[in-house]
């Protein structure tokens, strides 16, 4: 759609912007669970010696590499995770900017320009939240309310304005009302499905299987992406969590599995590939089921 040099140029910009945002996400991951009053004040400082960092100590990716992963002033080692989160965010920005706007996937290519930009904005917002949630959940085993609540409130309004990620509710002719209802439904299906599993888990195992943070996170994601996406994300997270959880149990003997990172991974996949996943399951499986039902003389109508 765009000329090739322009695509390459925008890709580079997306990566640079992603690295800068990743640097900010590092600050969020550090400060939000530690109860800082503000994310912006006081300015960036070394957490060991307290020296305020100069602008050239704060250049994403580059500063860490040029300083060899240590504070310029007190030489304390700065964990390489700061670097990896900046690189990860840059890669995610490139991936979503390309697949939604620059070299769009069929679903996004079919959208008018304004909706495409909106879809990209929501995707970038969710990418940032998912990165922050993942690392805070790994570190502290919590998902802070100050991340989830604003999103849960914001989602229905934005979905009413532009219901790009939501399935059209067939009985409603107004797409905006449909977007609003689908978002509210997504909040309840997303949060409710996890809450339900938590209640069942507690009844069977006698201890909390699911944190309330996970429930709120899924309410947020369901609100933005719709009830159908919420179910797909939950399913993907369970599959992923089971596989990686077994490995982690063998390697670390740690029985606790934070669920947030798996939900985050499921969200980032479903965001782009919902149509493909739906065609894999809901569209193929009913056909198979209806064939079988056909054998028994019942026509399911697919
Ligand atoms: Zn220092």
Residues 6+ apart with CB under 8 A from 179: 159, 160, 161, 162, 163, 166
Cα–Cα distance measured from residue 299 to residue 290, given in angstroms and rounded to the nearest whole number:
7
* 82 Cα–ligand 1 center, Å: 15
Residue 84 pLDDT exceeds 70: yes
Provide the pLDDT for residue 208. Answer: 72
> For the chain, what percent of residues have pLDDT higher than 70?
92
Residues 6+ apart with CB under 8 A from 257: 241, 245, 248
* 78 Cα–ligand 1 center, Å: 9
* 21 Cα–ligand 1 center, Å: 23
Express each pLDDT in 164-213 by its tens digit: 999 887 777 888 899 999 999 999 999 999 999 888 888 887 777 677 89
* 2 Cα–ligand 1 center, Å: 46
Alpha-carbon distance values, 128 to 67, 80, 107, 131, 236 (Å): 26, 19, 22, 5, 20
Average pLDDT over residues 76-91: 95
* Full-model pTM: 0.88
* 73 Cα–ligand 1 center, Å: 5
* 69 Cα–ligand 1 center, Å: 11
Residue 150 pLDDT exceeds 90: yes
Provide the pLDDT for residue 184. Answer: 96
Cα–Cα distance measured from residue 33 to residue 5, given in angstroms and rounded to the nearest whole number:
42
* 128 Cα–ligand 1 center, Å: 27
Provide the pLDDT for residue 3. Answer: 78
* 54 Cα–ligand 1 center, Å: 12
* 212 Cα–ligand 1 center, Å: 37
> For the chain, what percent of residues have pLDDT higher than 90?
61
Q: Work out the mean pLDDT of the chain and round it to a whole number.
A: 88
Express each pLDDT in 267-301 by its tens digit: 999 999 888 887 775 555 566 555 555 554 444 44
For 86-152, give the DSSP string: HHHHHHHHHHHHIIIIIS--HHHHTS-HHHHHHHHHHHHHHHHHHHHHHHHHHHHS---HHHHHHHH
Split at pLDDT 50, 70, 90, the class of 11 is very high
β-pair partners for 52 = 45
Place of tokens 């002033």: 73
* 217 Cα–ligand 1 center, Å: 35
Are 268 and 127 in contact by the 8 Å Cβ rule? The answer is yes
* 84 Cα–ligand 1 center, Å: 20
* 45 Cα–ligand 1 center, Å: 8
* 76 Cα–ligand 1 center, Å: 6
* 9-13, 137-141, 195-199, 251-255: least confidently modelled range: 251-255
Average pLDDT over residues 241-259: 81
* 77 Cα–ligand 1 center, Å: 9
* 56 Cα–ligand 1 center, Å: 15
Orientation of helix 145-161 relative to helix 175-205, angle to 10°:
150
Cα–Cα distance measured from residue 213 to residue 259, given in angstroms and rounded to the nearest whole number:
10
* 204 Cα–ligand 1 center, Å: 49
Please classify residue 285 by burial: count the beta carbons closer than 10 Å to its beta carbon, then call 0-12 exposed, 13-18 middle and 19+ buried. exposed
Are 205 and 167 in contact by the 8 Å Cβ rule? The answer is no
Output 31 or 246, whichever has higher pLDDT.
Answer: 31
């Amino acid at each position: 759609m765009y000329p090739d040099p322009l695509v390459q140029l925008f890709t580079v910009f997306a990566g640079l912007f992603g690295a800068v945002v990743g640097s900010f996400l590092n600050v969020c991951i550090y400060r939000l669970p530690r109860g800082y009053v503000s994310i912006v004040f006081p300015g960036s400082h070394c957490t060991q010696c307290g020296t305020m960092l100069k602008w050239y100590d704060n250049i994403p990716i580059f500063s860490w590499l040029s300083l060899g992963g240590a504070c310029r002033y007190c030489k304390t080692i700065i964990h390489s995770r700061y670097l990896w989160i900046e690189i990860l965010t840059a890669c995610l920005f490139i991936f979503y900017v390309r697949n939604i706007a620059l070299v769009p996937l069929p679903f996004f290519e079919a959208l008018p320009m304004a909706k495409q930009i909106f879809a990209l904005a929501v995707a970038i917002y969710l990418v940032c939240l998912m990165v922050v949630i993942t690392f805070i959940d790994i570190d502290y085993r919590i998902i802070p309310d100050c991340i989830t609540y604003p999103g849960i409130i914001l989602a229905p309004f934005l979905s009413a304005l532009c219901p790009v990620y939501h399935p059209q509710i067939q009985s409603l002719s107004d797409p905006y009302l449909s977007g609003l209802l689908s978002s509210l439904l997504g909040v309840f299906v997303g949060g409710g499905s996890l809450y339900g599993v938590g209640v069942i888990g507690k009844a069977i195992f006698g201890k909390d299987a699911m944190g309330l943070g996970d429930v709120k996170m899924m309410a947020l994601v369901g609100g933005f992406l719709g009830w159908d996406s919420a179910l797909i994300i939950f399913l993907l997270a369970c599959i992923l969590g089971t596989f990686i959880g077994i490995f982690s149990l063998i390697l670390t003997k740690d029985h606790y599995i934070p669920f947030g990172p798996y939900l985050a991974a499921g969200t980032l996949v479903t965001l782009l590939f919902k149509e493909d996943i739906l065609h894999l399951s809901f569209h193929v499986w009913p056909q198979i089921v209806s064939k079988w039902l056909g054998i028994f003389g019942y026509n399911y109508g697919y």
